[in-house]
Amino acid sequence: MTSTKSSKKRTSGTEKRPAKRKKIVSPAEYEAHAKAAAAGSEQTAHVGPGAKKSAKATQDATVTTGGATCERGGKGGKLSGLDAAAQVLADASKPLNTKEMVDRMLAKGIWKTAGRTPSATIYSALLRHIQKNGTNSRFRKVARGRFELVK
């Protein structure tokens, strides 16, 4: 006996959905939005996904973030991981591994993280920094897993 296969194409339960379409805006809505943006209204309508903020909204956001004290432009007090590592290595008398660096950074309160592997995060950031900056890097890898600050 020969078995015959069904020529009908099987569809799985997870079919592709059509792409999300952009919102179609009427001319009246478009003009109202343009007038609101020109007037500098803080409550401007968001027209479709990916719509850009007005210049005033961006300027207001810049003013309210406060003074930047670290590389990434974060709010005062807390340093970026690389800045905190540099500070810890400057205080250390010998090269440290990333676990020791993270322990000291968290103990001093100069860096916060909610990640499960902060030492891997710092290790990766240090290697990226060294690779990107080469001889101009702030850090030097002296042994397997050990880093020091370039003086």
- CATH class, 81-149 region: mainly alpha
For the stretch 93-143, pLDDT in tens is: 899 999 999 999 999 999 999 999 999 999 999 999 999 999 999 999 999
Structural domain boundaries of the chain? 81-149
CB atoms within 10 A of CB 146: 14
Going across the sheet that includes 96-97, the strands are 96-97, 146-149, 139-143
CB atoms within 10 A of CB 123: 20
pTM for the structure as a whole: 0.51
Q: What is the torsional sign of CA 129, 135, 137, 143?
A: positive
DSSP characters over 57-87: HHHHHHHHT----STT---TTPPPHHHHHHH
Decide: residue 56, CB within 10 A, 0-12 exposed, 13-18 middle, 19+ buried: middle
For the stretch 12-71, pLDDT in tens is: 566 777 677 677 778 888 888 888 888 874 454 455 555 555 444 444 443 333 333 344
